[in-house]
Structure 1
Amino acid sequence: MPIIFHIDLNSFYASCEIARNPSLADKPVVIAGNSRRGVITTASYSARKYGVHSAMPLFQAQKLCKHLVILPVDMNYYKSISEQFFKIIAHYTSEFEIASIDECYVDVTDIVYEYENAIELASQIQKQVMDTLHIGCSIGISHNRFLSKMGSDLKKPNGITVLTKTNIQSFLWPLPVGTIHGIGKKTAVKLNENGIITIGDFARKENYDIIKQYLGRNALLFYNRANGNDAVKLNSAHNQLQSVGNSTTLEKDTNDIEVIKEHLKRLSMQVSQRAKKRDLISNHITITLKYTRELSINRTYRLETATNDFDIIYETVLLLFDLNYDDQPIRLAGVSLSNVIARKDYSKQLSLFNYEKEKNDDSQTDEVIRSIQQQLPDTVKLTKASKLLNQTNHQKKYIDEE
Structure 2
Amino acid sequence: MRVIFHIDMNAFFANCEISQHPEYAHKPMVIAHDSRRSVVSTASYEARKFGIHSAMPLYLAKQKCPQLLIVEPHFDLYRRLSHAFFKIVSSYSYIMEVASIDECYVNVSDYIIEHHIHPADLALEIQQRIMRELHLPCSIGIAPNKFLAKMASDMRKPMGITMLTRSNIKQLLWPLPVDAFFGIGKKTAPKLKAAGIETIGDVANYANYQTLRQLLGRHALIYYNKANGRDDAKVIYQETDVKSIGNTTTFEEDISDEKLLEDRFKEIALNVSSRAQKSNMVSNNISITIRYDLANHITRQMNISSYTNDFERIFSYAMMLFREHYNHKPVRLIGITLNNVVRKDQLKIQMSIFDEPVKEEPHELKVDDIIKTFNKENDFHLMKASSLLKGEKTH
Alignment of 1:1-400 (within 5 A): 1-113=1-113, 114-238=115-239, 253=258, 281-286=282-287, 298-302=299-303, 306-308=306-308, 324=324, 338-346=339-347, 358=356
- The answer as to whether partners of 1:10 and 1:158 remain within 8 angstroms in 2 is yes
For the Cα contact (< 8 Å) 2:98–2:104, is it kept in 1?
yes
Cα offset, 1:324, TM superposition: 4.4
- Please give the secondary structure, in 1, of the residue aligned with 2:30: strand
State the 1:344 CA deviation.
2.8
Tell me which moved more, 217-226 or 204-213: 204-213
Distance 1:277 1:172 in 2: 31
**Larger radius of gyration, structure 1 or 2?**
1
Change (3 A) 1:278 1:202: closer
d(CA) in 1 for partners of 2:161 and 2:104?
15
Please provide the CA RMSD for this pair.
4.3
1:41 counterpart letter in structure 2 = S
Please state how far the C-alpha of 1:322 moved relative to its aligned partner.
12
Letter in 2 for 1:300: Q
Conserved? CA contact 1:287–1:321, under 8 Å: yes
Cα offset, 1:81, TM superposition: 0.5
2-side partners of 1:276 and 1:201: how far apart?
Answer: 40
AA partner of residue 31 (structure 1): I
Residue 155 of structure 2 contacts residue 162 of structure 2 at CA under 8 Å; is this kept in 1?
Answer: yes
User: Could you list the per-position Cα deviations for residues 78-114 of structure 1 after superposition, in whole angstroms to 9, with x for gaps in the alignment?
Assistant: 1111100000011111011111111111111111131
Q: CA, structure 1 residues 213+137, in 2 after alignment: closer, same or farther (shift >3 Å)?
A: same
Which residue type is aligned with residue 143 of structure 2?
A: S
Distance in 2 (CA, whole Å) between partners of 1:329 and 1:205 is 42
Gaps of 5+ in 2: 248-254, 360-395
Query: Alpha-carbon deviations, 1:311-331, whole Å to 9, x = none?
Result: xx79x969x769945886999
1:115–1:121: 8 Å Cα contact kept in structure 2? no
3-state SS of paired residue (2:207): helix
**How many Å separate the matches in 1 of 2:130 and 2:170?**
31
Shift of 1:307: 3.6
Question: What's the offset of the Cα at 1:339?
Answer: 3.7
Report the Cα distance in structure 1 between the residues aligned to 2:278 and 2:109, rounded to whole angstroms: 33
Equivalent position SS for 1:88: helix
Pair 178,91 (structure 1): closer, same or farther in 2 beyond 3 Å: same
Q: Displacement, 1:286?
A: 4.4
Going from structure 1 to structure 2, the CA distance change for 1:286 and 1:252 (only over 3 Å counts) comes to same
Structure scoring higher RCO (CA < 8 A, sep ≥ 6) equals: 2
2:101 counterpart letter in structure 1? I
Deviations 1:52-91 (A, max 9, x none): 1112221111111011111122222111111000000111
Describe the superposition over 1:196-229 as per-residue Cα deviations: whole angstroms up to 9, x where unpaired.
1111111114143332111111110001111111
Structure 1 residues 241 and 59, CA gap change in structure 2 (3 angstroms):
farther
Distance 1:344 1:36, change over 3 A: same
- Deviation track 1:115-138 (CA, whole Å, cap 9, x = no partner) reads 431111000001100001101111
Contact 2:238 2:279 (8 Å CA) reproduced: no
Give the 3 Å change call, closer, same or farther, for CA 91–70 of structure 1 in structure 2.
same
Paired position in structure 2 for 1:382: none
TM-score by length of 1: 0.70
Q: Distance in 1 between matches of 2:308 and 2:229?
A: 44
CA distance in 2, matches of 1:52, 1:253: 23
CA contact (8 A) 2:256 2:328 kept: no
- CA gap of 1:325–1:159, structure 2 versus 1, over 3 A, is closer
Query: Greater shift after overlay, 186-195 or 294-303?
Result: 294-303
TM-score (norm. length: structure 2): 0.72
Q: Aligned residues: percent identity? A: 43
Alignment size in residue pairs: 337
